[in-house]
């Protein structure tokens, strides 16, 4: 499985599985299938309206529906990726999504650049320019991805903040690190992802790097006798405890 090494905002490298060319083509075909279905509905509505109201009024309906249909087709990817967290219907069904190269959710500006460069990737090159770029580029990026600083990855089970915030905590638990409040939800999600990645890849460097970053952020030294993995798990447990108290 091809992966891309993403350097997160905490400067920790995590490998994400890259979406293959076949999966991206399949997602595109699903989206085109949706618009083909909408085109059939467009024709049916035109015929029904023409028969019920009169053919003399039909041209106005055709113009209105054509404008709506064209605008939907043009802006479909941009709107979907902004409001569906980097996915359109095809991408969601194929379980792939757009992310920023730093591992975070892409910004509206990045989605806009990707959308704008669809002209270069597909419209001006007969639909093949972007596919060729995806096939030959290191990170499976089309030109729009390269310019926007994004890529498309396979979606993997992601840490849900509800699993962190509402994880059961022993009533008599005494936290070890009281300043875990300096962490953000995203910081703790990332710790979970690093630990999960370690169990899959056994890359100990991830644990050492993450523990060093967390210790620096919290301005503390890992206690003697506690290894890096235990440290990260304790930080998470302390965070869960503080979050439960806050609720």
What are the pLDDT digits (tens) for 157-213?
554 444 444 455 566 778 899 888 898 888 888 898 888 888 877 888 889 999 999
Low-confidence ranges of the chain (pLDDT < 70): 1, 7-13, 50-58, 156-171, 245-247
3-state SS of the chain is CCEEEEECCCCCEEEEEECCHHHHHHHHHHHHHHHHHHHHHHHHHHHHHHHHHCHHHHHHHHHHHHHHHHHHHHHHHHHHHHHCCCCCHHHHHCCEEEEECCCCCCCHHHHHHHHHCHHHHHHCCCCCHHHHHHHHCCCCCCHHHHHHCEEEEECCCCCCHHHHHCCCCCCCCCCCCHHHHHCCHHHHHHHHHHHHHHHHHCCHHHHHHHHHHHHHHCCCCCCCCCCHHHHHHHHHHHHHHHHHHHC
Q: Which residue has the tokens 């998470």?
A: 236
Token pair belonging to 98: 């757009």
How far apart (Å, rounded) are the C-alpha atoms in residues 119 and 127? 9
Domain boundaries, the chain: 3-154, 161-246
Q: What is the pLDDT of residue 166?
A: 46
pTM: 0.66
> Which percentage of the chain shows pLDDT scores above 70?
85
pLDDT tens digits, residue range 228-238? 999 999 999 88
For Cα atoms 7, 13, 18, give the angle at the middle one, nearest 5 degrees.
80
CB atoms within 10 A of CB 4: 20
How far apart (Å, rounded) are the C-alpha atoms in residues 85 and 104? 11
How far apart (Å, rounded) are the C-alpha atoms in residues 72 and 21? 25
Q: What is the pLDDT of residue 161?
A: 47
Token pair belonging to 7: 């350097």
Token pair belonging to 155: 């979606």
Q: What is the pLDDT of residue 156?
A: 64
How far apart (Å, rounded) are the C-alpha atoms in residues 194 and 208? 10
How far apart (Å, rounded) are the C-alpha atoms in residues 125 and 122? 5
């Amino acid at each position: 499985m091809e992966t891309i090494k993403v350097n997160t905002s905490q400067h920790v490298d995590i490998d994400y599985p890259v979406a293959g060319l076949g999966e991206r083509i399949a997602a595109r075909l699903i989206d085109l299938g949706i618009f083909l279905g909408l085109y059939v509905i467009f024709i049916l509505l035109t015929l029904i309206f023409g028969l019920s109201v009169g053919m003399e009024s039909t041209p106005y309906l055709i113009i209105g529906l054509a404008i709506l249909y064209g605008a939907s087709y043009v802006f479909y990817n941009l709107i979907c990726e902004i409001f569906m967290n980097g996915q359109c219907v095809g991408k969601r069904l194929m379980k792939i999504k757009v992310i920023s190269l730093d591992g975070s959710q892409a910004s509206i500006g990045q989605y806009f650049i990707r959308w704008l460069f669809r002209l270069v990737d597909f419209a001006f090159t007969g639909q093949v320019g972007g596919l060729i770029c995806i096939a030959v580029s290191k990170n499976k990026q089309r030109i729009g991805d390269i310019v926007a600083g994004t890529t498309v990855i396979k979606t993997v089970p992601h840490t849900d903040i509800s699993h962190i915030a509402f994880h059961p905590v022993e009533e008599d638990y005494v936290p070890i690190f009281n300043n875990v409040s300096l962490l953000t939800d995203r910081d703790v999600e990332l710790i979970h992802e690093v630990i999960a990645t370690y169990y899959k890849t056994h890359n100990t460097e991830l644990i050492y790097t993450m523990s060093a970053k967390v210790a620096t952020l919290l301005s503390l030294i890992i206690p003697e006798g506690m290894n890096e993995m235990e440290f990260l798990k304790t930080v998470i447990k302390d965070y869960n405890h503080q979050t439960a108290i806050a609720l």
